[in-house]
Structure 1
Amino acid sequence: MTAFNDSTVGNPDALRADMVRALRDQDAITSSRVADAFAAVPRHLFAPDAPSEIAYDLHRTVPVKKDEHGLDISVMSAAHLQAVMLEQLGAGPGMRVLEIGSGGVNAAYLQELVGPDGEVTTVDIDRDIIDRARLCLDNAGYTQVKTALGDGEIGVPDGAPYDRIIVTAAAWDIPPSWISGLTGNGRLVVPLTLRGTTRSIAFDRDGEGLVSDSYRLARFVPMQGEGAAKERKALLRDGVAVQTDDERVPLNTKALNHALGTPRREFWSGAAYDLPDELELYLTLHLSSPARLHASKAVVDSGLLDASTLLGVPALVSEDSIAYRTRRENEDTGGFESGVVAHGLQAEALADEYLKLLRRWAQNHRRRGAATIKFLPGPDPSTLPQNTVLKRHGIVAVSWH
């Protein structure tokens, strides 16, 4: 959480100034343009039902709407994540920008970035959300921002082409409208989900496709409408679940639950554990049968599964066995050593594959930004290159350097 002193409590201007300083200190804001935008927008007016201290907290989201099960389907994203994505976007004066997934405050930041000669359009599929965004924008003085009701999968063709498109919900795919809606040198920033792992990727247009400029850790509520993903999920036991969007991955609930009841086996790589977000992306795209393993705090506290599963960890699964990443202290590897916990009859075989990947990453790719991510629309699935993820509208191809 952001640290506030007594003089800032209940004072939005002081809270906003503290937020900007903290975002700079954490390198979420790296440019004066984004800093000026965050300093100008009265963020608390976009979260009128939340205390100002929460609205200006760097890492807190503000719920906007929940579904019938009480799960968030729309939130005001945390300031830290918004700042990171706006730095990725690189919007400047006079640009035309489309925001897909509306909340209001991000559109206000965008209007500050493009200035009076630029144009910002924000679209959302939910009438309640877009009406709320319109009201908040007007109350905060951003009447110039255009709001539209519609499915983000289609975009807003009437305003195209856009210099920049930013998506503020986790997208499983990149529809043709997003690429065709960009100028020839336009940029798309999208939290793209790859086998259950989401990264905010800044894509530059590359002919008919896209190539990454940068990627950052991100967590978002999923898109609705035509762009919604249909992931497979299996509850193995109370507090333990696996999920995957890869149809080739077996999810035999009974057999995997039985595997968890067998003794855990630990295998150690002798390789350094570092930069978990980079390692996670590498593992997700290289494991032969990947899923994401989640466990509750109660399950972790019981000792059944390691703490790496609390936020989800890349797992390798077979019909009757499961393996996932762990770590232990080891000064010989720079502080921590990566390893594998495996359960089931195929524990050793799964661990062997996993360990090879841990060693390869540590030896060849242990740094930030080692991946280049491309989106190639509409290829023949029979000719997929290695390290690719098949989507409805194309493939995501990742190379590591």
Structure 2
Amino acid sequence: MTQSASTSVDDQAVRLRNQVVDELIANGTITSPAIEAAMRQVPREAFAPEAELDAVYHPWNGLVTKRDTDGRSLSSLSAPHAQAHMLEQARIEPGMNVLEVGSGGMNAAYLAELVGPSGRVVTVDIDEFVTSRASRFLTEAGYSDVQVVLADAEAGVARFAPFDRVLVTVGAWDIPRAWCDQLVAGGRLVVPLRVMGLTRTVAFEKTDGLLVSDSSKLFGFVPMQGAGAHDSVELTLAGGAATLVFDENPPADPAALAGVFDTDPVVIDSRAGLRMGEPWATLQMWLATALPGFCRLVVDRAANEAADRPLGGIPIGLAVVEGGSVAYVANRRLDGDELTLDVHAYGPDAAHLAETVAEELRVWDRDHRGGPGPRFLVFPAETPDTELPAAERVIDKIHSRIVLSWPRPADTASDRQSVHQQPISQ
């Protein structure tokens, strides 16, 4: 590449970098001058030299850097939007000691900018390909002081502990005890936490030895490998048209659901929904935490259209199993742009299950729509029930017990209108 061509590429990278930062400031993702400065400074392209600049600097899309033999992503550079949001959640200050779980190099460079020369950044990954790549790119970009560690992050990195902040940049099904134990009192853990198959980037503060959340947002991340890996259970039905994905507590007798979609459905209009522009995130989590048997529904559109009895409505991926019956939530267009949420239920107890799901949709619509979403508290796995606070749901993992409670929004149910009086959308 000639010098003029190289200069042109560098100029384009700087332009795209500043464009992304400007966009993230405009939409409220970046709010602090320190994070703005870090994201303008670090050359994102240096950590993905094989990729096109437009892909490297896409504000909303991550960039896969390694796949397994089946094509599944094993390592990636998170989207600038996700990285900026997590950095804001972490509230990093100069001089801090920060652990990053999941390497790639670029986010560690952002962290190095934020902690400054008096701080320290440790980044750990289980994959030697990833750590070797991160070490090389960090050195080439001028961040050779970052400590790159090859290890299973399940045990943290004790030799550099305690940490003021722990940022996890891979999807975690559980929270290993080491992440809390190696965090200082008042320190913050930011982690993409998977609960009932739904991933939220949750920011925790360590208070009295426990982790208490103060913010969360829907994001997707490459899943953790090693001791912290967790596989979902998939149950394919309706001749391949529908797959139920269970992240927790799969049915004890999957055979009871064989042929369930061959029955006539019961369909109920829940008369619940969302205002225009509202996200689905709190609705998803409410059903996941309110109803035993929650799972995700994946529909193969081509197989469903070709089926003798295709699934009706437009499924939104939320389902519930009870015994030999299954129900899913679908949206349906009303007049204009308005949608309502229907429940489609199949099986011997379809009518009962449909009404159960519809009632939870109404409870969410009445008490939690527009609210802050769930509050997460993380207790050690050995904590007895008698020492847990009152909550809507307790999710038991291997290392932890995750307690979810639902603060109500500031407005009251009586101030809200029915879904049939207001537009809603995805």
Kindly report which structure 2 residues correspond to 1:371-386, keeping only aligned pairs within 5 A, or say none: 371-380=374-383, 386=392
Separation (CA, whole Å) in 2 of partners of 1:251 and 1:113: 52
Aligned to 2:398: 392
Q: Please give the secondary structure, in 2, of the residue aligned with 1:82.
A: helix
Cα separation, partners in 2 of 1:331 and 1:400, compared to 1, 3 Å:
farther
The amino acid across from 1:143 in the alignment is S
Aligned to 1:142: 143
Aligned to 1:75: 76
Separation (CA, whole Å) in 1 of partners of 2:49 and 2:249: 43
Cα separation, partners in 2 of 1:150 and 1:353, compared to 1, 3 Å:
same
Separation (CA, whole Å) in 1 of partners of 2:304 and 2:37: 43
Aligned to 2:33: 32
Q: Please give the secondary structure, in 1, of the residue aligned with 2:124.
A: strand
The CA deviation string for residues 310-351 of structure 1, in whole angstroms up to 9 with x for no partner, is xxx23111232211222234579x943222122223221111
In the alignment, is the contact (CA less than 8 A) between 2:383 and 2:401 conserved in 1?
no
Which of 319, 323, 326 pairs up with 1:319?
Answer: 323
Q: Please give the secondary structure, in 2, of the residue aligned with 1:291.
A: strand
In the alignment, is the contact (CA less than 8 A) between 1:376 and 1:396 conserved in 2?
yes
The CA deviation string for residues 245-276 of structure 1, in whole angstroms up to 9 with x for no partner, is 32363462x55351223344321112233431
Aligned to 2:290: 286
Separation (CA, whole Å) in 2 of partners of 1:9 and 1:107: 21
Separation (CA, whole Å) in 1 of partners of 2:305 and 2:87: 38
Deviation of the 1:56 alpha carbon: 0.1
Kindly report which structure 2 residues correspond to 1:9-48, keeping only aligned pairs within 5 A, or say none: 11-48=12-49
Structure 1 residues 20-29 or 210-219, which shifts more?
20-29
Aligned-pair RMSD on alpha carbons? 2.3
In the alignment, is the contact (CA less than 8 A) between 2:266 and 2:354 conserved in 1?
no
| Superposition TM-score, scaled by structure 2 size | 0.86
The amino acid across from 2:92 in the alignment is A
Aligned to 2:120: 119
In the alignment, is the contact (CA less than 8 A) between 1:41 and 1:109 conserved in 2?
yes
Kindly report which structure 2 residues correspond to 1:158-307, keeping only aligned pairs within 5 A, or say none: 158-236=159-237, 237-247=239-249, 249-250=251-252, 252=254, 255-256=256-257, 258-273=259-274, 274-299=278-303, 304=311, 306-307=313-314
Q: Unaligned stretches of 5+ in structure 2?
A: 1-7, 408-426
Cα separation, partners in 2 of 1:149 and 1:348, compared to 1, 3 Å:
same
Cα separation, partners in 2 of 1:52 and 1:161, compared to 1, 3 Å:
same
Separation (CA, whole Å) in 2 of partners of 1:306 and 1:137: 50
The CA deviation string for residues 276-315 of structure 1, in whole angstroms up to 9 with x for no partner, is 1111111111112111111234356666355444xxx231
Q: Percent identity?
A: 38
Deviation of the 1:27 alpha carbon: 2.1
Deviation of the 1:127 alpha carbon: 0.5
Deviation of the 1:241 alpha carbon: 1.6
In the alignment, is the contact (CA less than 8 A) between 1:241 and 1:294 conserved in 2?
yes
Structure 1 residues 238-247 or 349-358, which shifts more?
238-247
Kindly report which structure 2 residues correspond to 1:325-336, keeping only aligned pairs within 5 A, or say none: 325-330=329-334, 335-336=338-339
Aligned to 2:340: 337
Cα separation, partners in 2 of 1:27 and 1:135, compared to 1, 3 Å:
same
Cα separation, partners in 2 of 1:120 and 1:381, compared to 1, 3 Å:
same
In the alignment, is the contact (CA less than 8 A) between 2:243 and 2:298 conserved in 1?
yes
Cα separation, partners in 2 of 1:112 and 1:301, compared to 1, 3 Å:
farther
| Superposition TM-score, scaled by structure 1 size | 0.91
Cα separation, partners in 2 of 1:298 and 1:36, compared to 1, 3 Å:
farther
Separation (CA, whole Å) in 2 of partners of 1:207 and 1:169: 26
Kindly report which structure 2 residues correspond to 1:105-116, keeping only aligned pairs within 5 A, or say none: 105-116=106-117
Separation (CA, whole Å) in 2 of partners of 1:251 and 1:315: 17
Separation (CA, whole Å) in 1 of partners of 2:304 and 2:141: 45
Separation (CA, whole Å) in 1 of partners of 2:69 and 2:171: 20
Separation (CA, whole Å) in 2 of partners of 1:400 and 1:216: 15
In the alignment, is the contact (CA less than 8 A) between 1:37 and 1:109 conserved in 2?
yes
Q: Unaligned stretches of 5+ in structure 1?
A: 1-6
Which of 363, 366, 372 pairs up with 1:363?
Answer: 366
Separation (CA, whole Å) in 1 of partners of 2:267 and 2:203: 38
The CA deviation string for residues 350-369 of structure 1, in whole angstroms up to 9 with x for no partner, is 11111111111111111242
The amino acid across from 1:130 in the alignment is T
Separation (CA, whole Å) in 2 of partners of 1:92 and 1:98: 13
Structure label with greater radius of gyration = 2
Separation (CA, whole Å) in 2 of partners of 1:69 and 1:357: 38
Separation (CA, whole Å) in 2 of partners of 1:191 and 1:377: 19
Separation (CA, whole Å) in 2 of partners of 1:50 and 1:187: 33
Separation (CA, whole Å) in 1 of partners of 2:303 and 2:98: 45
Cα separation, partners in 2 of 1:291 and 1:145, compared to 1, 3 Å:
same
